[in-house]
Every structure is written in C-alpha cells, then in structure tokens.
C-alpha cells in the first residue's frame, strides 16, 4: 500500500495520466472528425443522387486518363457557363460528382454546380445545393451571398433577411440590402393594413437611396399623393424618368417648381412653353413634337455601373455581376410610328 502511495505521488505518474488524457482526447477528436467527414460524404452523395442525368462519356474518359482531371474539366465547364451553355456545364459537373470520391473536390464541384444552376435559372436546385454546402461549411461567404440572392429571386424574403444577418456577423453591416429586403417583405405582406404598410416602407426608404425606385413604383400603384410627395424631394430626376414617363395626367400645379420633372412633360407636349429641357434626349423630343412632323418616343435600357452590362429590363441587382444598386437608366430616342397607318392585312 505504501509503495502504491509513493508511486501515486511520483511526478512520473502525473505525466502518464496527462499523456493518457491527451491520447484519449485525440482519439475522440479523430473519431468525431471521421464521423463528421463520413456524414458529409453521405449527405453530398445523397444530394447528388437527386439529380437525374446521363453520364457524359467524354467527361468519364478524361477522368480515367487525365493526370489532373478536375482542373481540366472545371476549366471546360466554366467556358460553357460563360457562353451560356449551362446544360453541358451541368452535365460535366454531375459526371464529375459521380466519379469523384475526395470530399474536398466534391465540395468544390458542388459549389460550381450550384452556381451553374443559379445562372441557368434553376433556383430551387441551386437553393438545395447552397443549403447543403452551408451545412458542411457555414462560413462560406460566397455561398451565403448566393443563397441570399436565390431566396430573393424566389420571393422568400424572410429567409433572405435571415441570411443577411449571418453575413453581417462576418462581414459587417449591409444596411442598404437589408432595407431593400425589408421593403420587399412589406410589399408582399398582405395581412398588414395598407396605410401602415405604406408608412413603414417610406420610413425604411429614408435610410437607403438604392430602394427609391422600388418604393416609388409601389406608391405609384397604390398612393399617388405619397408618390408625388416623395419624388418631388429628389433633385436629380434622370434615373426616374422611366417611372414618370407613362403618367398620363401629372399634377401640373404641384410639379411647377421642379424643373426636372416639368422637362419630362415638356418633351411629351403636355407642358407647352418655350423653356428648353436640360437633358439632351428630352430636348430633342420637345423640339420634334413642337416643330417637326416626325414624332419621337423614349425607350429605356439599364446599364450596370459595375460591369457595364446592358439590359432591356430593370433589375435592382445586376443579373451579370450580382451587384446591388448599380443599375442606371439609359435613354434612347425611337421614331414614333403612327399605328393607324398600318393595315392589319
């Protein structure tokens, strides 16, 4: 007994105990990591099986004979994506997933596949992939951002708002995007009384100039008085000409003090005076309507100030680079045809 007590008090015994604890913790941690990796692999394989596809024979041949098949095939698939040939890119990614065993490579391919589905417009499939990736890597900012945009496109604004909160914890404040999503949530909140909804939208809009157009479009369809209250506060009216262009009976007395808005209706001949318009396209239309037998009209295009892509439709987020609040209005003059002169025969 005395010898055991002596051994117990020996410093070597304490060292052995510490080493044993470290070994046990290491084994437990290794086992846990192996279990998590296996769970990830099973989860990703289960998701991959949800997509019906025919394996691409060329892709399988490259996988069999190439020394670096993943990088080669990824390069080819990315070219397909850039050229808009999403079917071929998706087929390559799915074949790669079927043949790839390495978990890290699978995760990278899944991310590329999700992006291809997103760009091709298969939002539900993209959403499922992004969610699965985030289960395994919740701090992937790029996938979080794509998931937020996917929710936005699908109209799942509450989910998009929740994802923004996650991004803010890692990246910092995103007040402009958050206000925009909150406004979309309010616009689609059918249970809220209309007056309360309008006041909340206007309140949120004060903190984000990027949400001006969506707020104005909403008020234009629901409360013209508030619409004019808000738009008359905007000094530079260029980016809002498309909203004002098709209003048939503007309140001329109310807008009389705002030259920019008056210029829009001068160019259409609604205001008939000799004051010139400050914007070139509007002045050309004013002169044509006043002095020429030829009549003109405006068409509207939208250009991203970030990537310079042009679109015939308005989007609050650039469809090409996904930047928010970068779409600017572009005016073009088109000859106005007299449809009465055309026969239906």
Residue matched to tokens 């794509």: 146
Model confidence band, residue 32 (pLDDT cutoffs 50, 70, 90): low
Rounded Cα distance between 228 and 251, Å, is 9
Contact 272, 294 (CB under 8 A): no
DSSP structure string for 308-332: --EESS--SB-TTT--BS-EEEEEE
Question: How far, in Å, are 155, 164, 180, 282, 330 from residue 214 at the CA level?
Answer: 15, 19, 8, 24, 18
Helix, coil or strand: residue 319:
coil
pLDDT range class, residue 6, cuts 50, 70, 90 = low
Q: What is the DSSP letter of 67?
A: S
pLDDT band at 264 (very low <50, low <70, confident <90, very high): very high
pLDDT given at position 20:
72
3-34 burial: b if 16+ Cβ within 10 Å, else e: eeeeeeeeeeeeeeeeeeeeeeeeeeeeeeee
Taking only the tens place, the pLDDT of each residue in 296-339 is 889 999 999 888 889 888 888 888 888 888 888 999 998 877 65
Span 222-231, pLDDT tens digits: 999 999 999 9
From start to end of 17-79, where are the E strands?
none
Determine the pLDDT at residue 137. Answer: 87
Beta bridge partners of 333: 298
Q: What phi-psi label fits residue 308: left (phi over 0), alpha (psi between -120 and 50 degrees) or beta? A: left
Q: Is the pLDDT of residue 345 over 80?
A: no
User: Which backbone phi and psi does 301 adopt, to 5 degrees?
Assistant: -125, 170
Q: Is 333 helix (H, G, I), strand (E, B) or coil?
A: strand
Q: Under a CB-based contact definition with an 8 Å cutoff, are residues 283 and 276 in contact?
A: yes
Residue 188 has pLDDT above 80, yes or no: yes
Mean pLDDT over all residues of the chain? 83
pLDDT at residue 255 in the model: 94
Rg for the chain (alpha carbons), in Å?
A: 30
Tokens 């007040």, located at residue = 175
64 contacts 97 by C-beta, under 8 angstroms:
no
What's the CA gap between 271 and 241, in Å, rounded? 16
Region 60-87 average pLDDT:
81
Stretch 190-197: mean pLDDT, rounded?
Answer: 86
- Return the residue matching tokens 């084994």: 27
Token duo for residue 335: 């000859």
């Amino acid at each position: 007994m005395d010898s055991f007590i002596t051994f117990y008090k020996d410093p070597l015994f304490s060292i052995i105990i510490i080493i044993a604890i470290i070994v046990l913790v290491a084994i437990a941690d290794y086992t846990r990591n192996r279990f998590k990796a296996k769970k990830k692999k099973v989860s990703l394989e289960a998701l991959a099986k949800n997509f019906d596809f025919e394996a691409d024979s060329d892709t399988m041949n490259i996988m069999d004979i190439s020394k670096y098949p993943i990088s080669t095939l990824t390069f080819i698939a990315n070219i397909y994506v850039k050229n808009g040939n999403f079917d071929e890119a998706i087929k390559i990614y799915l074949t790669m997933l079927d043949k790839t065993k390495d978990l890290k490579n699978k995760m990278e391919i899944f991310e590329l596949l999700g992006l291809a589905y997103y760009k091709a417009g298969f939002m539900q499939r993209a959403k499922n992939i992004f969610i699965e990736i985030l289960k395994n890597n919740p701090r992937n900012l790029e996938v979080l951002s794509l998931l937020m945009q996917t929710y936005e496109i699908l109209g799942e604004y509450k989910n998009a708002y929740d994802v923004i909160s996650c991004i803010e914890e890692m990246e910092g404040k995103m007040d402009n995007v958050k206000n925009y999503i909150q406004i979309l949530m309010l616009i689609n909140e059918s249970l809220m009384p209309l007056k309360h909804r309008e006041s909340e939208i206007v309140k949120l809009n004060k903190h984000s100039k990027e949400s001006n157009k969506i707020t104005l479009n909403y008020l234009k369809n629901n409360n013209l008085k508030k619409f004019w209250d808000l738009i008359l506060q905007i000094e530079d009216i260029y980016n809002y000409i498309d909203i004002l262009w098709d209003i048939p009976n503007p309140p001329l007395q109310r807008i009389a003090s705002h030259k920019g808005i008056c210029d829009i209706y001068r160019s259409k001949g609604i205001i008939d005076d000799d004051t010139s318009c400050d914007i070139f396209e509007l002045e050309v239309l004013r002169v044509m309507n006043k002095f020429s037998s030829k009549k003109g009209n405006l068409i509207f295009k939208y250009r991203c100030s970030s990537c310079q892509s042009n679109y015939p439709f308005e989007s609050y987020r650039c469809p090409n680079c996904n930047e928010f609040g970068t779409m600017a209005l572009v005016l073009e003059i088109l000859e106005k045809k007299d449809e009465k002169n055309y026969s239906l025969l």
